[in-house]
Amino acid sequence: MQGYFKLSRHYKFALSNIFKKFPNALGTIIVEDDLLVSHDFIDFFRKFSPLLNDPNENLFCLSTWNDNGKDDQIEQNPALVYRTDFFGGLGWMLSKKIWDEEFSSTWPTAFWDDWVRNVEQRKGRQCIHPEVPRTSTFGKVGVSNGQFFDQYLGKIHEFHGDFNWNQFDLNSIKRRQYDEQFLRKVENVPVASISDFEMLQVPEVKLIYETKKEFENIARKISVMQDFKAGVPRMGYYGVVTALYKNKRVYISPPNPRTWEYHTDW
């Protein structure tokens, strides 16, 4: 476990010093040394960073990673961007305000990423991330001993094309507009069961879960990550996780996302 303590110390040292060296910076981008990044990686942060420091947007990070971004489970549309309650990391931006006022004085001695995901740190805030990842990792050998690498992480690759983020409409991802459109969308998707959704001749389906076990069964079926962190499913928003399965858009959803509450014991 020593590696997790060393990592946490390293992050605190790096973040403390970068903000001292650049006191006027609004935030910093963290790139681990086992990542590859896409051509538009920096432009992504340049585009969305104004929202990170807008108190109306309720954000605590920007991330170019998608835990469920395996090549065959994403729509190959570089303009798709989501909000999530989950902190993914792996190429992300932290605001100086959050570091100075919150994280710097309480940074943990180990397991910093799970600490960031805790209710006390997240405070109901979200992250913004693309459907098509702008990072990939080759770090099979590391502190985590390759956990999830062969099954998930090694099958996620950074975007290899060119995309001009200047054409993206920021209003579409702003919280008030995005939330209503997202929730309405999920509510209108036809409900199916795990046993018959593949046979339905529709482009999108919704699979309902009410327990952790039900979520895990569905996630296993469509090959997305099954675990929760601090009660939030990976890349979930209002408890909803979405990915492609055999070219069909699947939403794994609680019965009523509008009233969803995370279960910290999940």
For the chain, what is the radius of gyration of the CA atoms?
Answer: 18
**SS3 state of residue 206:** strand
Helices (H) and strands (E) in the chain, counts: 8, 13
Amino acid found at 249: R
- Known catalytic membership, residue 113: yes
How many CB atoms within 10 Å of residue 256?
13
Q: Identify the DSSP state of 76.
A: S
Chain position carrying tokens 């296993």? 220
Residues in the chain: 266
Task: From the candidates 113, 162, 227, 265, give the one annotated as an active-site residue.
Answer: 113
How far is Cα of residue 138 from the mean position of the Cα atoms in its chain?
19
Q: Identify the DSSP state of 103.
A: I
Task: Give the active site residues.
Answer: 113
